[in-house]
Amino acid sequence: MPVLTLGYRHCDRKRPSYIKNSEIEGIAVLARQQLVEAAADAIPLATLSAISGLKINGVVFDLFVGTGNVVHDERGNPVLGICEYDPGVPDTAMVSVSPVGVNASEELVLSTLGHELGHAIFDAPGWIVDASKGPGLFDEPSDTARRAYRTTTRDVEHLAKVTPVAEAAATPSLAIPGHTTKEEYFAELRANEFMGSLLVPRQRLNLAVEELAPKHGVTIHRSPSLDPDLPGTCLHLTADGDIGFFDIECLQKAVAKRFGVNRRFIQVRMERYGLLKPGAKIF
């Protein structure tokens, strides 16, 4: 049962600073190194489900992962997953994801679990530290922060938020429906970026594209990276002709199969890493 050891910039309450996407990518890479071999593309669902503990910035706690029962929110509505910390069960974060079934493919369950793991890594340490201090001077002891120590992934669209954290920090008006505070918004962006970088890391995706693009009539263009945090060469994909969109989709399906995710997941990662322009025509 693996225990992941990770660290990132944080305040004295063990809450993350506004870390950049490049930093989140690096943290996801370190997590992958503790879970699968360097040459592996896919992380099996069983591997993520077997994580039994986390050591984050010196905060050590158990991680309970459940994937066997349909998960519900506070109102009893079925949701994809939750991450929560109950002060009554100290030093244990809980991640619950609705199981594979009629309404959830294995690819969706894997993505949801990766997202909830991101919450456990970036949010649970702060929850644990806050809970250890007890209620404040003007707090009602009966109103413990149990409700605050929970994040909820309601649907597939929740997993598609990929706005860079730095851009969100500079745009106070941005908001995710159902999440009213800036802290909650950043938490969702971090969890999504971690999920994407964990399951489909930039380097592994580029290698897969290098191998598979020629087989699907897709052209790879190389140019110097304009991102100071990610120096080197960046890739960009095009497909010529009237069915170029079809060639790109076929490539995405082939890559998705290799990583154990769905085509939409790969499309989002390709856009996120600059291989495709978001929302642009691909032919």
Q: Is residue 277 part of a domain?
A: no
114 and 8 share one domain: yes
| Predicted TM-score (pTM) of this structure | 0.87
* Domains in the chain, number: 2
Q: Is residue 279 part of a domain?
A: no
Last residue of a domain, one of 199, 216, 235: 199
219 and 125 share one domain: no
109 and 224 share one domain: no
Token pair, residue 239, equals 């497909």
Q: Which domain holds residue 256?
A: 202-272
Q: Is residue 282 part of a domain?
A: no
Q: What is the DSSP track for 114-151?
A: HHHHHHHHHTHHHHHHHHHT---TTS-TTS-TTTTSEE
140 and 227 share one domain: no
Q: Is residue 190 part of a domain?
A: yes
249 and 184 share one domain: no
51 and 140 share one domain: yes
Q: Is residue 73 part of a domain?
A: yes
| Bridge partners (DSSP) listed for residue 5 | 55
CA dihedral of residues 54, 56, 60, 61 (deg, nearest 10): -40
Last residue of a domain, one of 168, 199, 230: 199
Angle, CA 50 vertex, CA 158 and CA 34 arms, to 5°: 90
Q: Is residue 14 part of a domain?
A: yes
- pLDDT by residue for the chain (283 residues), tens digit each? 799 999 999 999 999 988 999 999 999 999 999 999 999 999 999 999 999 999 999 999 999 999 999 999 888 999 999 999 999 898 999 999 999 986 789 999 999 999 999 999 999 999 999 988 766 555 555 554 444 589 999 888 888 765 555 455 544 444 444 545 788 888 999 999 999 999 999 999 999 999 999 999 999 999 888 788 788 888 999 987 666 789 999 999 999 999 999 999 999 999 999 999 875 443 3
